[in-house]
Amino acid sequence: MHVLVSVASRHGATAEIGEVLALELARAGHFVDVVPPDDVESVSDFDAVILGSAVYVGRLAVALRALVQRESGQLRKKPVWLFWSGPVGDPPMPVTAPDDVASIARSVEARGERCFVGRLDRGGLNLSERALVALTQAQTGDFRDFDDVRAWAATIAAELAA
Ligand SMILES: Cc1cc2nc3c(=O)[nH]c(=O)nc-3n(C[C@H](O)[C@H](O)[C@H](O)COP(=O)(O)O)c2cc1C
């Protein structure tokens, strides 16, 4: 199958999760394109789509939401999975899903949704991001669990094969 992986990421951590998903699906025998949401003109040529986004201030990225708005009609006709990555720390915080996850999952009739723990590297942040993080108790570090990511990719590959 021809699979699109489209991930909105500011500082690269969520994009790397998308790359691992893409690699695992390619290993399972699929043809996978990784294209950032702003560069997706149409999803009509794909058989399945994985959408992902980093979370900033309780929301998924504008670019991901815009892609869903542009292509919701086509997306609804295909198997779509949605993930987000934001909570950081051990235990990961915050525990609640971003406000817009439910509406996006509904508008694309997502087959599955998943939250992955992210990475917070203060050194890579701009001034306003640093100021925002300073207001929270967020722990810095890379909390991503790539075994978890690969396991989710395996469930998607199994569903596509079925
Ligand atoms: C300014 C700022 C605000 C954030 N707000 C949230 C948030 O509201 N909820 C959340 O779960 N994670 C939040 N995060 C954590 C990021 O989503 C996390 O660091 C993610 O892994 C970054 O992904 P990226 O490198 O792909 O941009 C925030 C991070 C920063 C720097």
pLDDT per residue as tens digits for the range 89-137: 999 999 999 999 999 999 999 999 999 999 999 889 999 999 999 898 8
User: Is residue 58 over pLDDT 90?
Assistant: yes
Q: List pocket residues of ligand 1, CB cut-off 6 Å.
A: 9-15, 54-58, 85-88, 94, 118-120, 125, 129, 132-133
Task: Name the closest-CA residue to atom 3, ligand 1.
Answer: 56
User: What is the arithmetic mean of pLDDT over 75-86?
Assistant: 97
Q: How far apart are the first and last CA of the chain?
A: 12
For ligand 1, the distance from its centroid to the CA atom of residue 121, given in whole angstroms, is 10
pLDDT at 45: 96
pLDDT at 137: 80
For ligand 1, the distance from its centroid to the CA atom of residue 81, given in whole angstroms, is 20
pLDDT at 136: 87
* Closest-lying ligand 1 atom to the alpha carbon of residue 121: 19
The CATH topology of domain 2-161 is Rossmann fold (3.40.50)
Contacts of 50 (CB under 8 A, 6+ apart): 3, 4, 5, 6, 18, 21, 25, 80, 81, 82, 83, 156
* pTM (two decimals): 0.97
* Closest-lying ligand 1 atom to the alpha carbon of residue 55: 17
